[in-house]
Structure 1
């Protein structure tokens, strides 16, 4: 299934994309794409509905973040060896973990703000992993049973804030709109091999990033198990799993986003995003 949330910011309703690409309203069956709705039982209940009987959503509504009430927005740094090297770092021996503020989350096609005082706002196409059931001290073999599905994420960064303003990555990762997620959450059963999905990102029509989830240093199951050793993962938590090479920081010379530029990105099976850069 492809689950999404649509409508004005803060008033999103739950929906489902049918086989013909039509958005169907789920609001009479579930309160949101969040919490226990993401559990195996919750997803099974949605899958059992007669999709054709769900009301179609007319027009072209705004698409919101595909997960509501996200508790934790966790990110994995330097998870592609060639990306690590382009930033001047060696590939890590275990996952590099940091957090984005959940207030950074926005819809997949919402405008992205360049922070005040920023001169190094950068792009990063990433695959998101959405937790569906509580996970604590789980093994790698158990990990995928706790995953509801996957989504597309642009893990935007302000590189100067990230690296030169006191040593913590979070402040360079958490500006409002620095976490577009969606357009939809694709449930686990629809993805044949999560470690074989093509990734891409364009800036003003020029290809900047090309990659595949198969070249991740730490795969999805390993990441979910690893994180569960340090914290309890709850339904609706989102893990952004790392970016392939081609970020602005790694270009020669380094190149960053400017007001008015348009970023498009996608991952096979997970949809596409489009954002226009605006000044905060």
Structure 2
């Protein structure tokens, strides 16, 4: 299934997207919060034949949901990205987090924060949605609800000011996600990841290039630490970020950034 959260006539609802239509399943699920559905930890039972249907173009897509905890992020998980940045942490599993308050949805604006940074950058990533809580996870596929698109917006200069990446990654609007959460049965791996800035292709990668694949990431992260239903794991970004260009090219007011992942969709945001 392809899940979304949308707004129509001032009302927020959970939708399932098929083709060019979205089906309102909020009443069947007795909630308009997708996080609540995921947290139930069982496969939702919905009947699209009796669900209200609307043209997708007639609704406003929102962030699928905002997690309760920080978004878990994996750094330097693509070899070419390691090369374009620096060698610090190369070969090691780099883990950091983004504040849940940084989450916004498709077509939402990303704040430039010029008083705080002049090195604003993008990182297109595949994000995994945990659907079943667990610790020391072995059977990874049983714990995945779905996948979505994530843009790990980063203030590079602020990132360098601190030992941990948290602040430079967590300003408000620095974590666009969406437009959909797609269940694993609808995806065929490897997935392609592309990022454009004002229509110019900057990143073009595939999940087959991950240094540590998704299964290994989840097994490692869950060792001694419980992953809960609704947790989001951003799995790293391919080469082509602005900071890695020579000379570096950072995002400016008015820029449009679009991250597309095959089988999921495109996440577009404008810098203001």
User: Residue 246 of structure 2 corresponds to which residue in structure 1?
Assistant: 252
Matched residue SS, 2:128:
strand
1:268 correspondence with 2:262: yes
Q: Is the 8 A contact 2:38 2:145 kept in 1?
A: no
Q: 1:78 to 1:160 in 2, by over 3 A?
A: same
Shift of residue 11, structure 1, vs aligned partner: 6.3
* Range that drifts further, 76-85 or 229-238: 229-238
Instruction: Identify the residue that residue 16 of structure 2 maps to in structure 1.
Output: 16
Q: Which residue of 2 aligns with 1:75?
A: 73
Structure-2 residue corresponding to 1:147: 144
* Aligned residue number for residue 130 of structure 2: 131
Alignment TM-score, normalising by the size of structure 1: 0.90
TM-score by length of 2: 0.92
Moved more, 180-189 or 85-94: 85-94
> How far, CA to CA, are the matches of 1:69 and 1:29 in structure 2?
22
Q: Summarize the alignment of residues 199-214 of structure 1 with structure 2, pairs less than 5 Å apart.
A: 199-214=193-208
Query: What displacement does 1:68 show?
Result: 4.1
Runs of 4 or more above 6 Å deviation? none
Aligned length: 267
- Superposed counterparts of 1:181-192, under 5 Å: 181-192=177-188
Cross-structure match for 2:228: 234
Deviation at 1:90, TM superposition (A): 5.8
- Return closer, same or farther for 1:69/1:265 CA change in 2, 3 Å cut-off: closer
Corresponding position: 1:175 with 2:174: no
Distance 1:243 1:11, change over 3 A: farther
2:252 counterpart SS class: coil
Of residues 212, 229, 243 in structure 1, which corresponds to 2:237? 243
> Which has the larger share of strand?
2
CA 1:40/1:124 → structure 2, altered by over 3 Å: closer, same or farther?
same
Counterpart for residue 119 of structure 1:
118
Q: Distance in 2 between matches of 1:157 and 1:90?
A: 17
1:248-278 per-residue CA deviation (whole Å, 9 max, x = no partner) reads 0100000100001111120000100111100
What's the secondary structure of 1:41's corresponding residue? coil
SS at match of 1:83: helix
Query: Could you tell me how far apart the structure 2 residues matched to 1:127 and 1:239 are?
Result: 9
How many angstroms does 1:95 deviate by? 1.8
RMSD: 1.8
Question: Paired residue for 1:51?
Answer: 48
**2:106 matches 1:108:** yes
The answer to whether the 8 Å contact 1:209/1:247 transfers is: yes
